[in-house]
Amino acid sequence: MKRLSWFNVTSLTLGFAFLYLPMLVLIFYSFNSSKLVTVWAGFSTKWYGTLFQNEAFLDAAWITLKVAVLSSCFATVLGTMAAYVLVRGGRFMGRTLFSGMIYAPLVMPEVITGLSLLLLFISIGLDRGVLTIVLAHTTFSMCYVSVVVSSRLMTFDRSLEEAALDLGSTPWEAFRLVTLPIIAPAVISGWLLAFTLSLDDLVIASFTAGPAATTLPIKIFSAVRLGVSPEINALSTIMILIVTVGVVTASLVTKRNAVRAQQEAQAAERATN
Amino acid sequence: MTRRTLLIAAPYLWLLVLFFAPFLIVLKISLSDAALAIPPYTPTIKDGVGAMFAELDFENFVFLTEDDLYWKAYFSSFRIALVSTFLTLLVGYPIAYGMAKAPDEWRATLMMLVILPFWTSFLIRVYAWMGILSNEGLLNQLLFWLGLINEPLVILNTNLAVYIGIVYTYLPFMILPIYAALDRLDPSLDEAAQDLGCTRTQAFWLVTIPLSKNGIVAGSFLVFIPALGEFVIPSLLGGSGTLMIGKVLWEEFFNNRDWPVASAVAVILLLLLIIPIVLFQRNQQKQQEAEQ
């Protein structure tokens, strides 16, 4: 059995302490009763109370959620289509430009993406609001979805699709009945990625949001520019908890499915022997 | 056949209109004059396509080369991105190494612990450091309590805070590719080196490091490229002395409302990024070919 050396134990401990302590500190101080964030004055949940009475934050949260749901759904459909075109589409005119446009947004600084989209919306005379943020988020998220889905498409056995086509399926039926169920986990993680990217985004939303539509990150950013505030600590704690529950659940489900698949494979092997 | 065309056309047109066309507009506006009207540049599409291209000049780019601010901002973003990439490597490598050496049953949990911060809001992770690094912050309180300092260390609103912020937020991008490279490494190579007379340290430098080079290179690009155009970290943790090009672009646009200059800054930032991006892609391609 492998044992970790003291060096590895130390680097893992220090590394994970570095990754997690700042967030734990934030959570700890969200229960501080003092307005001064760095002085501990006893346990209190009052900042959660004031947070839920703050209409501006609630409105922003609602808009953020709406934008995230809409843009992640559009991005998943478009991104899956793009992945399918890239991996299975064969040759077509302008393929290089297409794959360039899929990969470029992944490395593009957000300030440039935001600025360029804003200038587009203004030059075509589109009023800034929820719609423009959704369009902007869909555009960069679909590229992430397409990368996740195309890596799954590349590794799966193409003969399964061909078999379906040989047996008389139309290409659409082959996609819906064979390909989609197999790539579904990648499509779902693509959707989740698009959803969190949209929830998180500050820079692109700042450029493309009008005065009528303020998202939560914009609200948080303008509040924390002035310094640390206990209300934002409370809000951060809620957001961290939601993500933690989501990620831990997802990884447990994946693990359980992997174990089950293994058991089934073993059972099948026994049956054939 | 029409279905195939539709399948290709939908994402293609979407990206052409919402990704490609905006760049042409940025390029075009970077060559226009600033005007006081809203939108503050002239001429626009409404004036006709002919007018748009009639009055182009390189004035804004000339302006950028004449003003010291922009040179300094480009240079300092480059330096900050480079230094923080190196620091992230120093912090990330031992963690990835420890993960690769960990017993198999821990690995899924360790992986999840590295990925979890990535799903948490970027803004909140940067914000968390504001309370720690400020003059009355936790770090200074701790140092006081330990009796190490008599007056607070000024860390927040300096470049040091920006380094800490970049290392912290981009650490998972460094750890994951290095871990992937180390995980694939055959441990018997390390043992062979030791059997042939290397000390453990020599074996590490002569065998493990060169064989994990691909992971190091990929991780470094994944940190360097976004760090170069970073906006949130310098504006929350950095001070007035922290010059980074993402922040300059933002201020040019939102505070000075000089859209043509902001666009020119964007065009040059893009040109700067093309080199590392091409290098990164070439590295990825080489790696893929090596695997096949």
Q: Which domains does chain B have, with CATH numbers?
A: 67-291 (1.10.3720.10)
Contacts of A19 in chain B (CB under 8 A): 113-114, 117, 168, 171
Taking only the tens place, the pLDDT of each residue in A149-159 is: 998 888 888 88
Residue A250 and residue A170 share a domain: no
CA atoms within 13 A on the CB side of A176: 5
Beta partners for residue A32, in sequence order: A43
- Smallest Cα–Cα separation from B68: which of B248, B255, B239? B248
Cis link prior to A181 (omega < 30° from 0)? no
In degrees rounded to 5, what are phi and psi of residue A43?
-80, 140
pLDDT band at A103 (very low <50, low <70, confident <90, very high): confident
Interface test mutation site (partner B, options A13, A23, A102, A112, max chain B beta carbons within 10 A): A112
Residue A189 and residue A253 share a domain: no
* Lowest-confidence pick of A212-216, A241-245, B56-60: B56-60
Residue A205 and residue A222 share a domain: yes
The answer to whether B22 contacts A251, with C-beta atoms less than 8 Å apart, is: no
C-beta separation of A187 from A175 below 8 A: no
The answer to whether A243 contacts B20, with C-beta atoms less than 8 Å apart, is: no
Domain membership of residue A25 (yes or no) is: no
Question: How close does chain A come to B66, measured CA to CA in Å?
Answer: 22
Q: Determine the residue of chain B that is closest to A83 in CA distance.
A: B11
Residue length of chain A: 273
* Separation of alpha carbons A221 and A201, rounded Å: 11
Residue A212 and residue A240 share a domain: no
Residue A108 and residue A209 share a domain: yes
- Give the structural domain span for A250: 228-257
Residue A233 and residue A179 share a domain: no
Domain membership of residue A233 (yes or no) is: yes
Q: Which of B18, B112, B134 sits opposite A117 (nearest CB)?
A: B18
Residue A249 and residue A159 share a domain: no
Residue A181 and residue A111 share a domain: yes
Taking only the tens place, the pLDDT of each residue in B164-213 is: 999 999 999 999 999 999 988 888 888 888 888 888 888 888 888 898 98
Contacts of B119 in chain A (CB under 8 A): 196, 243, 246-247
Residue A222 and residue A97 share a domain: yes
- Interface pTM, i.e. ipTM: 0.87
Average pLDDT, chain A: 88
CATH number at residue A136: 1.10.3720.10
Q: Determine the residue of chain A that is closest to B44 in CA distance.
A: A123
The answer to whether A4 contacts B101, with C-beta atoms less than 8 Å apart, is: yes
The answer to whether A19 contacts B270, with C-beta atoms less than 8 Å apart, is: no
Domain membership of residue A263 (yes or no) is: no
Taking only the tens place, the pLDDT of each residue in B7-61 is: 889 999 999 999 999 988 888 888 876 654 445 565 555 555 555 555 566 777 7
pLDDT band at A1 (very low <50, low <70, confident <90, very high): very low
Question: How close does chain B come to A132, measured CA to CA in Å?
Answer: 11
Domain membership of residue A181 (yes or no) is: yes
Domain membership of residue A69 (yes or no) is: yes
The answer to whether A116 contacts B125, with C-beta atoms less than 8 Å apart, is: no
Residue length of chain B: 292
The total of structural domains in chain A comes to 2
Residue A246 and residue A178 share a domain: no
